[in-house]
Every structure is written in C-alpha cells, then in structure tokens.
Amino acid sequence: MSAIHDKNNPFHAKLVDRRRLSSAASLKDTQHFSVSLDGSGLSYKCGDSLGVFPTNNAKSVADLLKAAGFTGTESVTIPKDTTAITLKEALTNRLSLNGPTYKFVQLLHDRATDEAQKAALASRIAEADPEKKKSWIEQYEYVDLFEEFSSAKISAQELIELQRKLMPRLYSISSAPSKYPNEIHLTVAVVRYETNGRKREGVCSTYLADRAQLNTAEVPVFVAHSHFGLPADDSVPVIMVGPGTGVAPFRSFVMDRATRGAKGRNWLFFGDQRKDHDFLYADEWADYLKSGALTRLDLAFSRDQAEKIYVQDRMRENAAELWKWISEGAYFYVCGDAKRMAKDVDAALHQIVSEYGKMSPEAAVDWVKHFKKEGRYQRDVY
Ligand SMILES: Cc1cc2nc3c(=O)[nH]c(=O)nc-3n(C[C@H](O)[C@H](O)[C@H](O)COP(=O)(O)OP(=O)(O)OC[C@H]3O[C@@H](n4cnc5c(N)ncnc54)[C@H](O)[C@@H]3O)c2cc1C
Ligand SMILES: NC(=O)c1ccc[n+]([C@@H]2O[C@H](COP(=O)([O-])OP(=O)(O)OC[C@H]3O[C@@H](n4cnc5c(N)ncnc54)[C@H](OP(=O)(O)O)[C@@H]3O)[C@@H](O)[C@H]2O)c1
C-alpha cells in the first residue's frame, strides 16, 4: 500500500500542463496549471483546494547571501528541528525571504557600526505613528535591509531564527474529479509587484509559473478538503459569483455537473479587467452555454468602459431573477478576493434580500445568517 499523502507527507507531483489564460496584452498574468495525481492515491472533490509547497527563487537566495556576506555553506538549525542544514538549503526551501520584522531591525540597529546607519535604524524603531511604522517595513525584504545597513553583521543562525517559515499556499481546484480523477487543475494569478523601487514576486505563483519543471515529479502537493462544495442534491440550482481567479471552483462545479448530466440550473457571475484579455476559459463557458450545462452567464468587465462595472452590479441588475432562484432553493457561492469583492457582494446580497424579500435591513441580516447556517451561502475567499 502506498503511503498516505497529506500536508505532513506531500506527494511529489508532476506539473503536466501550464498555459496562460490572460492574453499577452493583459495587465495580469493568470495561468492554468495541471498537476498529475498518478501514483499518489490522492482524490479530491469539487470545492477542495490543492496545497503547494514552493521553493524560493535561486537568484533571490543568492542575492540575500551576497548582501548578508554569507557563502551559503554555514550550518544552521531551524527552530524546533534537530538536524543541521546549510544556510542555502534553509533559505531555498524552509524560510520566507520577505516580511522582516522590527525584531530584525532592532538586531541590525544593535550591531550597526556605522553611526549614520545606526541613527537611521533608531529613528525607524522609534517611529510613533503605527501606520508609518508598518508601511516602512512593508517596503523591505531582508536583502534590502542587509544592503542598506551593511555595517551590521549578524550570524546565519541569528538570521534564520528571525525569518518566518515558508508556508504552503492553497489554490482552489478548478477541475472536476468526475472528468479528471487523476489530475488537478489550478487557475493562478501570478503575483509580481514593486516595493522600495525593486521588482518583487510572489513565491508560490512564480514557482509554478517560472521555476517548476514540466513532467518532473517535483512539486510537493497535498489536497486540502473543504466544506465548500456543490449541494448533494443535483437538482438544486446554484448561483456562483467568481471574478478573477475566484472562478476556479466554479469551473470545477459546472464541469462536474455537465460530466455527470446533473439537471440543476447553474448561473455564473464572472468578471475581470478586460473582455479581450482577461475572459478566463471563455471557450469553455461558450460550450457549456450551448449545451445547456450553464444556464446563465453574466459578465462584468471592469475596465472596458469609463466607469467600473463589477459582479455585484450585475447581481443588482438581475436582482428579481436572482431572488427568484434563491426562493426556489438555489445555493449562493462566492469565491475570490476577500478584502473588497466578497464584502461588496455580501452587501449586494443583503440589499437584494431586503428589497425583493420585502424585509427590513435588520431582518435581511438575520435572513442571510440563516441562509449561511443552512449551508446555502458558502464562501471561499482569500
Ligand atoms: C482557500 C484559498 C484558495 C485560494 N485559491 C487561489 C486560486 O484559485 N488562485 C490564486 O491565484 N490564488 C489563490 N489563493 C491565494 C494563494 O494561496 C496565494 O496567496 C497567492 O498565489 C499568492 O502567493 P505567492 O506565494 O505567489 O505570493 P507571496 O509570496 O505570498 O506574496 C504575496 C504577498 O505579496 C505582497 N503583495 C502582493 N501584491 C502586492 C502589491 N501590489 N504591493 C505590495 N505588496 C504586495 C502581499 O504582502 C501579499 O500578501 C487562495 C488562497 C486560499 C487561502
Ligand atoms: N491586495 C489587494 O487589495 C487585492 C485585491 C484583489 C486581489 N488581490 C490579489 O490579486 C490576485 C489576483 O486577483 P484575481 O485575478 O483573482 O482578480 P482581482 O484582482 O480580484 O480582480 C478581478 C476583477 O474584480 C474586480 N474588482 C476589484 N474590486 C472589486 C470589488 N470591490 N468588487 C467586485 N469586483 C472587484 C477587478 O476590477 P479592477 O481591478 O478593474 O478594479 C477585476 O475586474 C490574487 O492573488 C488576489 O488575492 C489583492
């Protein structure tokens, strides 16, 4: 019997497909990945996520070693581990190269031999405005601090004891087990941005996009099972709100219902920046609409016109029909950005419930709470 693979014993999977979903002219880089489960003994259901353990970019590791004056061969022991490993190994596979804390800034201050550097660090530490203090450190990665405050020398062990652990990232699975029992698809926005005048990259999204080799058993993964999922009863209608990469689990839902010939109606609200560049899986949705597997598709492209149009605007425009579906027993799902989108969609839902369900705003709050409690309002937001 093969070993059971989980977060503590990830399966080293092959990445078997990688392609761009957004166009070359898109302002975003959203990619589709297929991970093979062959030989893993792993299974999944619609709504589950895949956990991926990334490796840091070798160039970022080399830059940090150089800036800090290490060779990489220094021996270190990760806290709570017993075996010693090289600093290079620790920085490549075990620790996060970003997110330095003020504890580290304090250590640099204490060790700085250059008076100007010491004073600059002291003034950052003494900053009274918490917002300013936070936004300053957020601009920095370890490499910048070592470069800018080069007179401070610290040991390899001191460094690694202050670094955060490199954690696995979760991705909503965008394939259906009924169609792809031995493969998991992911829909990933590749994270690239700039802070402190330097180009930065998200560790795991660029690991999948740039560094993981195709067809090589090397990507450590595990399946994270979730309560998020399709209703047990295939005849129940579902309403899915998934802008951007939030569409991932809904590709899985619709693919699954289509593959199994489930009769329940499916309504998707999708949105992204521009129709010509960011319409993820456009051909598949067209086919599903044609076959009837997808009952309705409402689109909100935010940057195709002067004013922003978002998924919640489409919900409001179709509020009477949306309320009708909900009254007929539909489940309501939201996936994607937690900070703004999910809050605004929640507010639109409350408004629709209040107006079309003829309830006071307070009664609508109670109604939505009950809707959630029944498991008919589910969210997978990040
Ligand atoms: C349940 C769940 C499901 C998810 N599903 C998906 C999915 O289907 N698809 C998907 O793409 N993601 C998904 N995510 C998000 C995913 O897990 C990762 O968080 C994402 O890919 C970023 O990881 P990373 O390692 O590439 O970036 P990291 O190395 O973690 O870097 C991200 C960090 O970079 C910083 N940052 C990013 N942009 C900027 C900016 N413009 N300015 C300043 N700082 C910035 C922020 O501190 C941010 O937290 C999901 C998350 C969860 C919890
Ligand atoms: N740090 C943040 O504040 C933040 C916010 C969103 C996403 N993210 C991250 O960025 C990555 C890419 O995200 P993604 O590809 O899934 O898409 P996304 O950036 O969430 O964008 C998808 C669509 O949602 C729109 N949108 C923006 N604000 C919205 C709101 N309040 N309500 C409804 N829709 C809204 C966007 O429009 P416009 O872009 O034209 O406004 C775009 O058309 C993810 O890793 C995500 O976690 C970060």
Q: Where in the chain is the domain with CATH 1.20.990.10?
A: 58-162
Pick the CATH number of 11-53+168-224 from 2.40.30.10, 3.40.50.300, 3.10.20.90, 1.10.3720.10: 2.40.30.10
pLDDT digits 0-9 by tens, 150-175 = 999 999 999 999 999 999 999 999 99
C-alpha 192 to ligand 1 mean position (Å):
10
Delimit the CATH 3.40.50.80 region(s) of the chain: 238-381
pLDDT at 217: 85
Mutation probe of ligand 2 site: the residue of 188, 337, 339, 380 with most atoms within 8 A of C-beta: 337
Domain with CATH 2.40.30.10 in the chain: 11-53+168-224
What was the pLDDT predicted at 1? 46
Which fold, 58-162?
Answer: NADPH-cytochrome p450 Reductase; Chain A, domain 3 (1.20.990)
* pLDDT-based confidence at residue 130 (cuts at 50, 70, 90): very high
Tell me, rounded to whole angstroms, the distance of Cα 102 from its chain centroid. Answer: 26
Report the distance separating Cα 280 and Cα 311, nearest Å: 15
**Is the Cβ atom of 341 under 6 angstroms away from ligand 2?**
yes
Q: Is the beta carbon of 382 within 6 A of some atom in ligand 2?
A: yes
Find the 340 Cα to ligand 2 centroid distance in Å. Answer: 8
Rg over CA atoms, the chain: 24
pTM: 0.96
Question: 273 CB less than 6 Å from ligand 2?
Answer: yes
Which residue has a Cα nearest atom 28 of ligand 1? Answer: 202
- Per-residue model confidence as pLDDT tens digits over 53-78: 999 999 999 999 999 999 999 999 99
Say how many Å lie between the CA of residue 89 and the centre of ligand 2. 35
pLDDT in tens, 319-341: 999 999 999 999 999 999 999 99
pLDDT score, position 318: 98
Mean pLDDT of 232-247: 98
Residue at token pair 């639109």: 348
Separation CA 94–CA 156 (nearest Å):
14
Q: Dihedral (C-alpha) 361, 365, 367, 373: value to the nearest 10 degrees?
A: 170
pLDDT tens figures, 295-311: 999 999 999 999 999 99
Ligand 1 centroid distance, CA of 312 (Å): 23
Per-residue pLDDT, 63: 97
Report the percent of the chain where pLDDT is more than 70: 99
- Is residue 2 scored above 70 in pLDDT? no
Rounded Cα–Cα distance for residues 154 and 102 (Å): 15
Distance, CA 310 to ligand 2 centroid (Å)?
Answer: 10
User: Which atom of ligand 1 sits closest to the CA of residue 204?
Assistant: 25
Which percentage of the chain shows pLDDT scores above 90? 98
| pLDDT tens sequence across 89-98 | 999 999 999 9
Give the DSSP H/E element, type plus range, for residue 33. Answer: strand 30-36
310 lines ligand 2 (CB under 6 A): yes
Closest ligand to the CA of 172: 1
CA of 259 to the centre of ligand 2 (A): 30
State the DSSP H helix or E strand holding residue 239, giving kind and residue range, or none if neither: strand 238-241
Distance from residue 191's CA to the centre of ligand 1 (Å): 7
Ligand nearest to the backbone CA of 199: 1
pLDDT(134) > 70: yes
- Residues 4-25 pLDDT 10s: 999 999 999 999 999 999 999 9
Mean pLDDT in the chain? 97
Confidence of residue 3 (pLDDT cuts 50, 70, 90): low
Fold of 238-381: Rossmann fold (3.40.50)
**271 Cβ below 6 A of ligand 2:** yes
How many CA atoms lie less than 13 Å away from 144 in the CB half-sphere?
Answer: 18
| pLDDT, position 104 | 98
